[in-house]
Amino acid sequence: MCGIVGYIGGQQVNDILLTGLQRLEYRGYDSAGIAIVAEGQLKVHKQKGKVSDLVATLESNGQLQGTLGIGHTRWATHGFPNDENAHPHTNVTGSFALVHNGIIENYGALRQKLKQKGYTFKSETDTEALVHLIDDVQKATSLPLEEAVRQALTQVVGTYGIAVVSVEDPDLLIAARMGSPLILGVGEGEYFIASDAAPLVEHTRQVVYLNDGELVVLRRSGFEVRTIDNVKLEKQITELEWDLEEIEKSGYEHFMLKEIMEQPESLENCMRGRLRLEENCINLGGLIEVMDDLRAAERVIICACGTSWHAALVGEYLIEKFARIPVEVEYASEFRYRNPILREGDVVLVISQSGETADTLAAVREAKQQGILTLGVVNTVGSTIARETDAGVYLHAGPEIGVASTKAFTAQVLVLTMIALKLAENRTLTDAEMAEALRAVSQIPDKVRKLLELDKELCNIAHSYRFANNFLYLGRGFNFPVALEGALKLKEISYIHAEGYPAAEMKHGPIALIDRFMPVVFIAMKDRTYDKVVSNIEEVAARQGSVIAITDEGNGELDKLCEYVIRIPHTEEFLSPLLTVVPLQLLSYHVAVMRGCNVDQPRNLAKSVTVE
């Protein structure tokens, strides 16, 4: 959540900061600002609203000149979205400015202590307490700013990613991290700081990932990393996998539509080198060292949030079906707070697109503290969860910019499918059964390509339901989690109230909602639950509910019962979520566009939830 970008070097910083903030817009925000050191002054511009509003203000007032600066997009936690609460924040004399992601949990106590020392507060933010604390430490000790920042952070309880610049030292940029991601970009005589890779890729591919409790001091001549406890560190420079083209819209109106349409390629990238038809096996290099432990697991606990939690539910079905290992799926946000019972032989597997989700990372740390093997399924290479788990599998889905996850969901389900099949090798599946399963998996990208040809049909369906106030999504078995995901997509981006249920649960409450104004989406694939789902459809039709059904190609049995029937390529039951979710993504997208919603940046939401 929020976004930080900073630069020190030889280039004019104004455009670097503003373009960087635009690259970070997908993270979610309600205000934006920049601070630039130039001509012996610290110039700060910030305001409520979009980065485009800030750009317009700066253009009307004249661009700021300078080669050192920081920028921020804020997602409000403490204090309303307004100009005063926007970042950057400055100390009393205006000699240094700070931007901050995260939550200072003891800011109330710090604020009270600082008020007693005569400090006044202009904002309602926790960040301003940190600014004044640094100022107070520096006044009391006469230390250099970087040392005052370090000592101040030893008094902070909570999470932070910060960047600091000072007019008194125009060759200094300070950044530190505790629980909120920061990446250092390394160029020739120039350095960048950012919350993620998006602002960096057009400038450099060389990056350093900061860990919790680390502080970096950047000068044009080089950088130095220390711990908050003042231990000097040697950090490895790695290369970004992202390309600039991947974070551009490439002619699509929205990132979400682009990412839906990229799914055939993202699925192919996800299985490349892993799905080995000729060898009749799955190769998951990231799990090789722990595969024996995973196969011997007494129980697998999957922790995730949001869309990743829905993928985890599919994973529960998959692993239990193929590996015959008991699986429990937990909301990561609840996992550590209920004092979970973990035993020898358990494995905790976490799923996160960003690899930075605060609750999911906390679940990893809770499991590791109890000595439990932890595995990660993440998309972002070098992310905190990827570094802190014992082993894992990358999605290789490419950057996902749209807040509503699409291609990451299908890649997560595909990775979980491959994990389940890997666990079944030479155990629960015969060679012939494995060959058939792998063949079916290999066909999924082409079937998704065929599905995407239904875009116009789904646009027409969306037109009929664009004014609906409520939706109900129903599915069974492997497609119950897809019903949950379809409902989440609709409410995330169109703000229509939608609920997902197991179809059999309809008679235990939700059927009371059915009338002619209630659209009901059924996932009715011709599998072992098909006849039961058809009975549910008939019950809704009898109450004048408006039914949209997703079923197999060639199935004409539902035409008389449904307003619309969406026919998709047939596949094995365990692979159906990879197909049935795609029409629901497109339906949600078109409804949201027709309602005039901001599809890529829905209100109140952030792409990566890095604070609790």
* Token pair in block for residue 189: 């005589």
> Looking at residue 50, what is its pLDDT?
86
Distance CA 465, CA 488 (A): 16
> Looking at residue 206, what is its pLDDT?
94
Tokens 């390394």, residue?
A: 186
Q: Around Cβ 531, how many Cβ atoms within 10 Å?
A: 10
Q: Where are the domains of the chain?
A: 3-246, 249-442, 452-605
> Which amino acid belongs to residue 398?
G
Higher pLDDT, 293 or 65: 293
Please determine, looking at this structure, whether the domain spanning 452-605 carries the CATH number 3.40.50.10490.
Answer: yes
Which of 2, 303, 562, 597 is catalytic? The answer is 2
3-class secondary-structure state, position 239: strand
Beta carbons of 479 and 580 less than 8 angstroms apart:
yes
- Which pLDDT band holds residue 608 (cuts at 50, 70, 90)? low
* Token pair in block for residue 555: 């199935």
Distance CA 195, CA 611 (A): 13
Distance CA 553, CA 198 (A): 40
Please determine, looking at this structure, whether the domain spanning 3-246 carries the CATH number 3.10.50.40.
Answer: no
Provide DSSP, 323-348. T---EEEEEHHHHGGG-----TTEEE
| Residue 508 DSSP one-character state | G
Which of 46, 50, 526, 607 is catalytic? The answer is 607
Report phi then psi at 184, rounded to 5: -100, 125
The pLDDT of 159-166, averaged and rounded, is 95
The pLDDT of 218-243, averaged and rounded, is 91
Return mean pLDDT, the chain. 92
Q: 520-536 pLDDT, tens per residue?
A: 999 999 999 899 899 88
In Å, the largest CA–CA distance within the chain is 81
- In terms of Cα–Cα distance, which of 520, 543, 524, 521 is closest to 534? 524
> Looking at residue 612, what is its pLDDT?
55
Checking if the pLDDT of 245 tops 70, the result is: no
Residue 61 zone, left/alpha/beta (φ > 0; ψ -120 to 50; rest): alpha
Q: Is 607 a catalytic residue?
A: yes
Higher pLDDT, 504 or 324: 324
The pLDDT of 246-255, averaged and rounded, is 83
CATH fold of 249-442 reads: Rossmann fold (3.40.50)
% of the chain exceeding 70 in pLDDT: 97
Distance CA 274, CA 263 (A): 17
> Looking at residue 609, what is its pLDDT?
64
Distance CA 110, CA 90 (A): 16
Distance CA 123, CA 86 (A): 9
Q: 466-480 pLDDT, tens per residue?
A: 999 999 999 999 999
Beta carbons of 552 and 525 less than 8 angstroms apart:
yes
The pLDDT of 296-305, averaged and rounded, is 96
* Token pair in block for residue 143: 């230390």
The pLDDT of 96-124, averaged and rounded, is 93
Tokens 């005063």, residue?
A: 84
Distance CA 177, CA 193 (A): 11
Instruction: Please indicate whether the domains covering 3-246 and 249-442 agree at the CATH topology level.
Output: no
Q: Is 281 a catalytic residue?
A: no
Burial of 605 (0-12, 13-18, 19+ CB in 10 A): middle
Q: Around Cβ 83, how many Cβ atoms within 10 Å?
A: 12
User: Distance of CA 183 to CAs 3, 88, 201, 357, 456, Å?
Assistant: 12, 19, 12, 16, 41
Checking if the pLDDT of 185 tops 70, the result is: yes
**What's the per-residue H, E or C state across 172-216?**
EEEEEEEECCCEEEECCCCEEEECCCCCCCCCCCEEEECCCCEEE
> Looking at residue 168, what is its pLDDT?
95
